Chains A and B, each alone.
Chain A
Amino acid sequence: MSISRSLERDLVSEAPEGLVVAARTRIRRRTAIGIALLGVIVAGSFLVEVQQAVGVTVQITGSAVAKQYAASLHQFYCLKDEIHGEVPRGAAVAVGSGTVESQALSELVVLWAKPEPSPQHPGWALSLVTPGACEGVGVRAVFHP
């Protein structure tokens, strides 16, 4: 290791200055090409992702999708209001379990009623029905004495 190092040092010290300058120019050119390549890769990657971000923004703010989101939130609040009108606060309500409907009903009754997987006696049972007043969906509440 040390021998090769000293040999390298000797070679470096013996190299003519003109060749050193030429070698420097070659390294400089290679480095510039490498940096340009790096820049192209970075710029390409960033532009592809930024284009994706712009696409998402345009898609969401497009009138059809925006209306869909607004309708969905309106439906959620509307169904909540229906439940508040039909089920007394703090009541145990049967919403089922393991289905999309039971999950939606559990979300709807939060802060108002206590969701249960199966009906209690006495207690309420909730289900979603169509057609309904909330964007085509409604809530049916049945009291089990």
Chain B
Amino acid sequence: MNILLTCAVLIVPGILPAVVIAGRRPVTPFVVPLATALMAGVAVLAMFVTDGSLVSWFAVVAAAVNLLALAALLKGTRLRRGDSSERYPWITFLVVLVAVLWPLAVLRVPVIGYDAQAIWLLHAAMVFGGHNTLVADMTNPSYLFSNPDYPPLSPGLAAVVYVTQGRVDYHLGVAAIAGLNACTLGVVGTGVMEAVQGRTRTLRWGANLLLVAFLCGAIYGVAGQYAVDGYADLLWAGAAVGATLYGLVLSPSRGHFAVACVCLAVAALTKNEGFVTSVIIACLIATRMFTCRPQRARVWLRMAALGAALAPTVGWIIAVRSRGLSNSFLGSSPESTLTRLSATTVGMWGQLHLVVAALCVLLLGALLLRSHRVGFGLANPAWLWAVAVLSTLAVAATYVFGSYEIHWWLASSVNRTTIFANSLLLTDMAVWAVVAMQGVDQPAWPNPVGSANARLEAADLSSTLTGP
């Protein structure tokens, strides 16, 4: 019975906002828990800054967001239909759902990671205790090991689960975080399906769906055990990949932009590196809007939406700093910058094993499928690669200028901090593969670029035969 209550509390508050944001599309059910988690994160921020308990603030935030969503509906915001929703949206949803849920079968085992217990579940217990407990424990030097400045989305969600159970239940807290990880992969999977915008035959559509299912499995493979043992690394990484896909790869429609904003907010409110990556993605989305869209009024509206997506995390950073808490990573180190730089380069390069394959796919795609990609309204892959490079550089800079002993730090975290870059590269490969499947029997044909190339090659041949 309590499990049903927990599921209801994690799903119901997010339904209306998700439907207003994403419309009637296969992605919408995956946005629902993300919207609820965002509300939980904002509720923790409000509770930390003011007073009271999580229940009261969660109720206030959920009611306010749902009233806004209802007002948007009543005002006449039509529910958006997805570009690909004409073709079996329920099957798309169900296949992606199965693809993201099967790894959660391990949750029957109480698999709880070291940092999950020492950071996220510990913070969730503090949140469960209410304002006074949260402030007292976060500012207690004995809890400095748990990075009390970390953003509150995961702890907020786990604490909501504790509230519905009436007790601290670490196993269920991990299940909630792992479920949210799965939702971010669902957003990514359905996003890749939207890349071809329904302009495909049934057989190829099925092949695309199979590819997307494998993409979700592959991202689970990149994340490894961290996907299911309560760590929040896949949560911010998956959300940031979703934000990149919807904001910087798919056509810049209102629906895609709205989903990108939700993903940005989730990534930023989950972890510090998620916030840095979200800022990078938001800047690139803004640049894309200014360079691609002539309607300036809407651009400013969208800029405001990007700002709103990052606002809760900025509020959190200000709130924790006002209590004297700050990031423990940055500081002086006895090791030289050169030593740290070389260790970081070796450590990160060892984890970024998909770069070579992704570069080969990028090269082939750019040579053979560029016109097809443009035809589907997809953005230049340079946007996605810019996110991957800048985010990786930001993580590398943290290692180089950080305070912890570099070899221990890399050994204990580099396989998690590179989940985002590897997942993003896998997603880029999936998008190219989906485009390739549409162009397999019409190679750059009858588009003007391919046609001109053929005529030029024929002309070269002709001139060779006839001589100068």
Contact = CB atoms under 8 A, between A and B. Distances in A.
Given A35-B440, A42-B432, A111-B128, A95 B142 contact: yes
B456 A8 contact: yes
Contact of A22 (B170, B367, B369, B461): B461
A130 interface: no
Interface in A14-41: 14-16, 19-20, 22-24, 26-28, 31-32, 34-35, 37-39, 41
A69 B108 CA distance: 11
Given A37-B364, A38-B361, A69-B109, A49 B122 contact: no
B385 to A, nearest CB: 16
A114 interface: yes
A45 B433 contact: no
B188 to A, nearest CB: 14
B443 A15 contact: no
A86 interface: no
A133 interface: no
B361 A110 contact: no
A97 interface: yes
A85 B453 CA distance: 82
The prevalent SS among residues of B at the interface is helix
Given A38-B361, A49-B217, A31 B454 contact: no
B402 interface: no
A23 B454 contact: yes
Interface string A32-60: 10110111011011111111111011001
Given A28-B445, A60-B109, A102-B142, A38 B433 contact: yes
Given A27-B453, A38-B365, A45-B218, A60 B458 contact: no
B458 A41 contact: no
Interface residues of A, number: 57
Interface residues of B, number: 74
Interface in A65-117: 65-66, 69-70, 72-73, 76, 95, 97, 102-103, 106-107, 110-111, 114-117
Interface in B96-112: 102-103, 105-106, 108-112
Given A57-B103, A70-B109, A51 B221 contact: yes
A12 interface: yes
Contacts of B105: 57, 61
Contacts of B168: 111
A1 interface: no
A123 to B, nearest CB: 13
Contacts of A49: 217-222, 426
A35 B436 contact: yes
20 contacts: A12-B456, A15-B455, A16-B458, A16-B462, A23-B455, A27-B450, A38-B360, A38-B365, A39-B436, A42-B429, A46-B218, A49-B426, A52-B221, A53-B220, A53-B224, A56-B227, A73-B171, A76-B117, A103-B118, A106-B143
Interface of A: 8, 11-12, 14-16, 19-20, 22-24, 26-28, 31-32, 34-35, 37-39, 41-42, 44-54, 56-57, 60-61, 65-66, 69-70, 72-73, 76, 95, 97, 102-103, 106-107, 110-111, 114-117
Given A38-B368, A46-B218, A106-B142, 6 more contacts: A15-B462, A44-B357, A46-B429, A60-B109, A76-B170, A107-B122
